[in-house]
A and B are shown apart, each in its own frame.
Chain A
Amino acid sequence: MKQGGLQNYIIRRLFYAFLIAFGVVTVTFILLRVGPSSPADKYLANISSRTQDPAKVIEAVEARYGLDRPLYQQYFNYLVSLARGDWGWSFSTSLPVIELIKRHWIYSFQLILLSMLFASSLGILIGIYSAVKQYTKTDYAATFFSFIGISIPNFWLGIMLILVFSVQLGWFKTYYDTGLPLFSLANLKALILPVITLGTGMMAGYTRYSRSATLDNLRKDFVKTARAKGLPEYIVIGKHVFRNAILPIITIIMFDLAGVVFGGAYLTEIIFGIPGLGRISFNAIFANDYPVVITITLIGAMVVLLTNLATDIVYTWLDPRIRYD
């Protein structure tokens, strides 16, 4: 019975995700077309200024990109081409957008993945430890540092790390070396500062969440039961408390992916010159290369959508109490 409910639930969620995706695409399209000087216009102006016969070029370009057709048709074409995987042509790099993304996503991915691992493992550990040692100096110190970690602007932290470790001490390069092979120690070393930059704020957040989630569970009756069974403290905390506390933490980590990670990764890539999607989108902005900017914004939204969906599904495995009827 529960299985059937779950399946229906997942199907419903997928359908819902599809609707949201549709909404997201629509919102981007509207934003794009209602702008006072839409990027397309800017691009046209840019091109036409370089030719002798601007009107003719504009006409040609408009015809090529379908900008001369009525708005609803443009919208429809836009949807169709998106669905067919035709995400446009990057003007500034003279590549299909999809090709550009294929080349660069891995840099963002490795940065985000390593930062998440660093932040969540350390953050959760410190948070739980801090909760177990509530009202001790360790706890106060952890709380205070997590405040600092949350408040420190990550782009500034990155610059300070470069200032101290690259400029003053000379331990690292000031810029990410794109020539390094992806799976190498040198690459890992080059990612240390970016990962700290992106991970510190996240870690501080997770410390706080896991501290409060652990505290919520630490005084529950079942913890007393576990102790009354004679279980050693590491099992009481590591199994009984942790299995309960991890549920809200996982939700928050997954939802965090949206705000913290994308904003943070964007800036981190720019500071360290990592050629990930953030950097690509940043370059594209200044080149008025709007297909790239749109696509990357859409990718961001889709990743958020999928992680939210995944969180919901993972949750049904982790928390037996949840039922979907």
Chain B
Amino acid sequence: MRRITEVFGGRRNLLFSGLLLALLFILLLDLFFVHHIFSPFVYFYLCFALVIVFYGIYPLYVSRRLTRYYWDRTKRHHLAVIGLVFIIFLVAVAIFGPFLTQDPTKVDFPNKNLPPVGFSAEQSTYDRTTGQFITRETPGTWLHPLGTDDKGRDMLAMLVSGTRISLQVGLMATLIAIFIGLIMGVVSAYLGGWADNALMRFTDIMMTFPFFLLLVFIVFIFGPSLWFIILAIGLTGWTGTARLVRSESLSLRTRDFIMASKSLGASDRRIVFHHLIPNVLSSVIVIATLSIPGVILAEAALSFIGLGDPTVTSWGLVLQAGQRSLETAWWIAVEPGIMLFLTVLAFNFLGDGVRDAFDPRSQV
């Protein structure tokens, strides 16, 4: 038993691997025997939750003093706290919202272009009795508190659905990118020599492509589906992290405590997992927080120009519809934009606070 524990590097890793295997087992069952236990996203979220619990909440709980310290430093940024609160609100909306709102894809032409509550808009409607188009002042109704779009779909429902999409893309693509970047960076720094050279040259090549152009190119070739967009963003967005992690690990590698554990005969794997990764993790958390808004924007921009997944209602898609009907229904373009803007702002605020909190040089 102890040997098994050691191979996995501690009880925590063992338990984590066990749960992952269990999840994999369910996935296999799902694929081959019982169809559709969970949707693919749920597997992802379960994995994500496991990682968060074992490598986020648990260590924070164990070292409560450090947690307190970070929290105190983050708390000083009022804007960061506001950002965090808004993000938590968004997560709640994304998880529970879709159960409470109407179907965002339900088309209802008689009720198209309804303004939000408190506004009214002029609309030309076909009057059956006279057989003519008449212009009529239409007020917003509580049935559609944020109005409807040019096909009569409920704006609130579409925004809630968009929240889910945006957060999914933001979280998953960032995780993929960070994961690749972390591996690339640590491996590159640790191996050194020609492997380092090759990996870094490849990073340079990837960095030479303008991010958005490359994304457009890839989605153009592989076709638009939400999964693919997430993957594409993840596969193109890792370069910055890789460079950062590499340079951080390089400077860490020569530090005394790593030298010390090396001289005590620690294995390479142990050094990487027990010393390098935990130590670069704080920079990685900062860069992750700060890159989420870029990812959300990239997905929205893709949907906006019509390269998004046409089967899901995302903010970018609604915004695209909004631009078409700017002259008749301004709210269709305004509302998703405000959501997008506030989300990005919240992540930027939080990222700034987290950066200051984790940066030991910004001691005040």
A38, CB-defined interface residue at 8 Å:
yes
Q: Is A238 an interface residue (CB 8 A)?
A: no
B327 within 8 A of A: yes
Q: Is B330 an interface residue (CB 8 A)?
A: yes
Within 8 Å of chain A (Cβ to Cβ): is B208?
A: yes
Whether B210 and A262, one on each chain, are in contact in the complex, defined by CB atoms closer than 8 angstroms, is yes
* Chain B window 20-60, contacts with chain A (Cβ cutoff 8 Å), 1 for yes, 0 for no: 00000000000000000000000000000000000000000
Of the candidates A32, A37, A159, A293, which one forms a contact with B333 in the assembled complex, judged by CB atoms under 8 Å apart? A159
Complex: A35 Cα to B218 Cα, angstroms: 9
Bound-state CA distance A300–B213 (Å) is 7
Please determine whether A153 and B204 come into contact, CB atoms closer than 8 angstroms.
no
Contact A155 B205 (CB under 8 A): no
- The answer to whether A147 and B334 have CB atoms under 8 Å apart is no
**Cβ–Cβ contact A153 & B300, under 8 A:** yes
- A contact residues around B349 at 8 Å (CB): 147
Contact A39 B326 (CB under 8 A): no
- Indicate if A148 sits at the interface (CB-CB under 8 A): yes
Are the C-beta atoms of A259 and B211 separated by less than 8 Å?
yes
Main secondary structure of the interface of A (DSSP, over half): helix
Q: Tell me if A159 and B326 are in contact (CB < 8 A).
A: yes
In this assembly, does B209 line the interface, its C-beta being within 8 Å of a C-beta of chain A? yes
Find out whether the CB atom of B293 lies under 8 angstroms from the CB atom of A151: yes
What is the 8 Å Cβ interface bit string for chain B, positions 215-257, against chain A (1 contact, 0 not)? Answer: 0111011110000000000000000000000000000000000
Q: Which of A22-30, A87-95, A129-137, A178-186 is the interface stretch?
A: A22-30
Indicate if B305 sits at the interface (CB-CB under 8 A): yes
Is A313 an interface position by the 8 A CB rule? no
A163, A259, A270: the one contacting B210 at CB < 8 Å is A259
What residues on B are CB-neighbors of A300 within 8 Å? 209-210, 213
B223 touches A155 (CB 8 A): no
Looking at the complex, which one of B204, B216, B222, B352 makes contact with A35 (CB distance below 8 Å)? B222
Could you tell me if A24 and B345 are in contact, using CB atoms closer than 8 angstroms? no
> B158 interface residue, CB < 8 Å from A?
no
- Asked if A31 is at the interface of the complex by the 8 Å CB criterion, the answer is yes
Q: How large is the interface on A (under 10, 10 to 19, 20 to 34, 35 or more residues)?
A: 35 or more
Q: Which residue of chain B lies nearest to A255 when distances are taken between CB atoms in the complex?
A: B207
B221 and A267 form a contact (CB under 8 A)? no
CB atoms of A159 and B293 under 8 A apart:
no
Q: Is the CB of B319 within 8 A of A155?
A: yes
Chain A 2-22, CB-CB to B under 8 Å as 1, else 0, gives 000000000000000001100
- Whether B348 contacts A147 by the Cβ 8 Å rule is yes
Assess whether A24 is in contact with B205, with CB atoms less than 8 Å apart.
yes
- Whether the Cβ atoms of B330 and A163 lie closer than 8 Å is yes
Residue B337, interface by CB 8 Å: yes
- A37 and B222 CA atoms in complex are apart in Å by 7
Closest CB-CB distance, B217 to chain A, in whole Å? 5
Per-residue 0/1 for B194-210: is the Cβ within 8 Å of any A Cβ (1 yes, 0 no)?
00000001101111111
Minimum CB–CB distance for B328 against chain A, Å: 10
Docked-complex contact A301 and B204, CB < 8 angstroms: no
- Chain B CB within 8 A of A271 CB: yes
Interface string of A24-62 (1 = CB under 8 A from B): 100110011001111100000000000000000000000
B340 within 8 A of A: yes
A286 at interface by CB-CB < 8 Å: yes
Residue contact B210 to A38, C-beta cutoff 8 Å: no
Min distance, Cβ A275 to any Cβ of chain B, angstroms: 16
- Do A156 and B319 touch (CB < 8 A)? yes
Q: Is A107 close to B, CB under 8 A?
A: no
Within 8 A of B (CB), among A131-182: 147-148, 150-153, 155-156, 159-160, 162-163, 167, 174
User: Please, could you name 8 A-B residue pairs with CB atoms under 8 Å apart, sorted by A?
Assistant: A31-B218, A35-B221, A37-B223, A159-B323, A163-B326, A163-B330, A285-B220, A305-B208
Residues of A within 8 A of B (CB): 19-20, 23-24, 27-28, 31-32, 35-39, 147-148, 150-153, 155-156, 159-160, 162-163, 167, 174, 258-259, 261-263, 266-267, 270-271, 281-282, 285-286, 290, 293-294, 296-297, 300-301, 304-305, 308
Q: Please give 6 more A-B residue pairs, beta carbons under 8 A apart, in addition to A153-B297, A261-B210, A301-B210.
A: A20-B208, A36-B223, A153-B300, A155-B301, A163-B334, A262-B210
